[in-house]
Structure formats: structure tokens, C-alpha cells
Amino acid sequence: MSAPRKKSKDKGGDEKMPTSNLNADAISKIKSSRKNSVPSDYNNLVQELLQGNKIALSKAISLVESSRSDHHLAANEVVEACLPHSANSIRIGITGVPGVGKSTFIDAFGSLLTVLGYKVAVLAVDPSSSLSKGSILGDKTRMQNLAKDPNAFVRPSPTGKSLGGVANKTRESIVLCEAAGFNIVLIETVGVGQSEIAVHQMVDFFLLLQLPGAGDELQGIKRGIVEMADAIAINKADGDIQPLAKRAKTEYSRALHLYPPKENGWVPKVFLCSAQENTGIREIWEMIEKYVGETKKNGHFESKRKEQNRYWFLQAVEDGLKRNFHENQTIQDQMDKLLQDVMENRISPLNAAEILLTSLS
Ligand SMILES: Nc1nc2c(ncn2[C@@H]2O[C@H](COP(=O)(O)OP(=O)(O)OP(=O)(O)O)[C@@H](O)[C@H]2O)c(=O)[nH]1
Ligand SMILES: [Mg+2]
């Protein structure tokens, strides 16, 4: 693990910055708002988290997921303090339609990894859980082995509000898990919409689980998601459906050749597995190890992470702009009235948007 950057402590080290151009009032405002928003036990929380305490890790994740505006700065501080201790890990995204067996697969796969000596964290990005809490219950029962494994940490989906919100916080949660000593992070996401595009931006390896015997259209999988995959595993290749699964493997292998080659030189492969019967799981891990080895060697592992950090930063700027905008009292005061006017055709949506957007300048 990389050495601590020794940053958070001298954060008040604004003193070291050239202050001549800065407004002293503004600096003291920022400092006092920081003081107010950082919970007093924040240092303890970080210390406990760094020692691998799972309760502290859960609390820290709840803090970053919190939508309370007074939690934002505290959450940023916690993430910042954890950042130097993160990154020494393999991040794997696992996607596929509801019911394909992602949670069952993660339980089997994660258990293999802990046997091999890794510490495994599981995060779920599940937009459907806001509608029914079924998946959360499902995750708890379907990851039974991992849930009681001392070397694993399973974070069930938050009852997500906005899809983007949950996915954005996943990026921060990865850092927290890594700082707590988890060196493999598995992220479960439903392969039907935007969430896996966001998750793809956070992981080193993206695994698509498919069902035997159903085409992409039937599985609701978009072409773009197949294209993003670094490997496809046809799950439930057990019992009577084995012949069907083998046929699906041939078809997918053929189909993958039609996609343009990946920039990192990796050629995606197709596997058969049964999460339930625990077959084919080890082969998938060996392939991921090979991927990590190759991309570390050719520099793509590192460059992908850099690119993802860039994306994370830009995304944080956009999120911050939106948040500030919507939390602004002037905006809130005008919003309802303008919405009414738009709905009643008293003003065009474009004009109304213009009024709102310029009301802060
Ligand atoms: N036969 C068979 N059934 C499986 C296998 N893997 C999972 N299942 C079953 O498929 C169902 C769905 O499994 P989950 O692991 O919950 O699937 P999921 O993709 O996580 O589902 P969501 O989280 O709801 O999107 C469960 O009844 C599992 O027991 C497998 O390899 N073979
Ligand atoms: Mg699941």
C-alpha cells in the first residue's frame, strides 16, 4: 500500500498558500464551515476504518451517501484522508439482467478470493431497489457465505434515490473500502440502464453475466454493454441447460469478434459457469489475474485509472454545480412559480429556463 500522503493534518495549511490575493474573510468562513461540518469523531472514524473496522467503514459509507448538505464537507474530508491508503486493489464490476445470478456469483467468487487470501468488499448499485426492497433482502440471503466471512464486507444497495447519486457515491465508497484494507472490490450493478456505464468508469475489469439460450434483446442487454465487457460469463450452465449454455458460448465468442479491438490489447473471452454449483468460477478469476498482469505491464491499468480519476473530478464538479444551484434559495423561490407558468403555457420552457439560469448572475 502506498505511503500516507500526510495531507489531512496540515489541511489548515492554507497558511502555506500565497494568501495575498485571497480574501481573509472568505478563508475564515471556509475554515469555520469546515469545523462545523466535520463531526468530532471524524478522526476516530478514519483511524478505526484504516484499521479495518467494518462498522467504521459502514458509518463512513453512510456519511458519503448522505444527502444532507452539512455532511458533504465531512464526507469529503473522510474520503481525502482515506485516499492515500486506497488504490492498491483490483476493482471488478459485475453486471447482468435481474435474476441472472450476480449475487450468487459474487458469493461464490468472493468466497474463492477470501480462501486465496484476499479481502473482498462488495458494493451494489441497484436502481431498482428504490421501487422494491426485494433485492436488498435477496442480497442478504444470496451472499450468505460472504456475509459471515470475516475477510469480506458486503454493503447492500442503499435504497437509492437517484440512480446517478448512488453510482456517484459508489466511487467514494470504493476508496473507503480500499482504505479499510479490502484489496478486491466487487461492484454489482443491474445491466439494463445507465448504472453500468457509471460503474464501468470506476472499475478495472467489467464482467457481464449472461443467461444461456437467450439473445441480447431477450435479456434486455444493450449492445453498448456487451461492447464494454472485458469478459462474458454464461451463468447457470448447469443441469439440463448445459448444452444450451455451450451453444451460447460459441455464439457469444463469435459475436465478440465483430466488436472493434480494445485499446489495451485485451481480447474479451467467454466462459461458462454455475454460481450455484460453484463451477467455472476459478477460471474466471485466473483470467482476471491475467488481464491485470497484462494491463499492468502495458501501462493500460494505470492509464485507465488516471482517466477514471479525471472523470471522477469532472463529475464531482458537475454534481457540485447542480447541488449548489438547487440548494440556492433564490432558485428554490422561483422554481415553483416558473414551473406553474410553464405548465399553463404562460411562458415557454426555454424562456423560463433562461430566467432561472440568469437569476443568479
Ligand atoms: N440453476 C442455477 N440457478 C442460479 C445460478 N445462479 C443463481 N441462480 C438462481 O437465480 C436466482 C437469481 O439469483 P441472484 O443471484 O439473486 O441474481 P441477481 O442477478 O443478483 O438478481 P438481482 O440482484 O435481482 O438483479 C436465484 O434463485 C438463484 O438461486 C446458477 O448458477 N444456476
Ligand atoms: Mg443481486
How confident is the model over 113-142, as pLDDT tens digits?
A: 999 999 999 998 765 444 444 444 555 567
Contact 196 CB / ligand 1 (< 6 Å): no
Q: Are residues 211 and 344 in the same domain?
A: no
Task: Give the rounded percent of residues in the chain with a pLDDT score beyond 70.
Answer: 77
pLDDT of residue 177: 97
Closest by alpha carbon to 187, among 245, 63, 103, 263?
A: 103
Per-chain mean pLDDT for the chain:
82
Q: In this structure, what C-alpha cell is assigned to residue 132?
A: 422494491
Answer yes or no: is pLDDT of 102 > 80. yes
Q: Ligand 1: which of 107, 139, 142 to mutate, most ligand atoms within 8 Å of CB?
A: 142
Which band of pLDDT confidence, cut at 50, 70 and 90, is reported for residue 276?
very high
Q: Return the minimum-mean-pLDDT range out of 60-64, 129-133, 199-203, 310-314.
A: 129-133
Residues 135 and 170 both lie in one domain:
yes
Q: Which domain holds residue 335?
A: 309-358
235 CA: nearest ligand 1 atom: 31
Tens digits of residue pLDDT in 249-271: 998 888 888 888 888 989 999 99
Residues 123 and 266 in one domain: yes
Cα 223 from chain centroid (whole Å): 21
Instruction: Please state whether 107 falls in left (phi above 0), alpha (psi between -120 and 50) or beta.
Output: alpha
Residues 6+ apart with CB under 8 A from 42: 74, 77, 78
Ligand 1 touching residue 245 (CB < 6 A): no
Q: Mean pLDDT, to the nearest integer, of 184-208? A: 84
Is residue 187 in a domain? yes
Q: 29 is written with which cell numbers? A: 468562513
Do the domain assignments include residue 80?
no
Helix (H) or strand (E) holding 237: none
Long-range contacts of residues 342-351, Cβ cutoff 8 Å, at least 24 apart: none
Looking at all shown ligands, the one closest to residue 234's CA atom is: 1
Which mutation among 94, 103, 159 tests ligand 1's pocket best, with the greatest number of atoms within 8 A of CB? 103
Is residue 236 within 6 Å of ligand 1 at its C-beta? yes
96 in the same domain as 227: yes
Q: Does 314 lie in the same domain as 295?
A: no
CATH number of the domain residue 175 falls in: 3.40.50.300
| Ion ligand 2 nearby residues (CB, 5 A) | 102-103
If residue 103 lies in a helix (H) or strand (E), which one and from where to where? helix 102-115
More confident residue, 228 or 54: 54
What does the pLDDT look like over 202-230, one tens digit per residue? 999 999 999 997 665 555 566 778 888 99
Question: In this predicted model, which residue has the larger pLDDT, 108 or 224?
Answer: 108
The finding on whether 195 has its CB within 6 A of some atom of ligand 1 is no
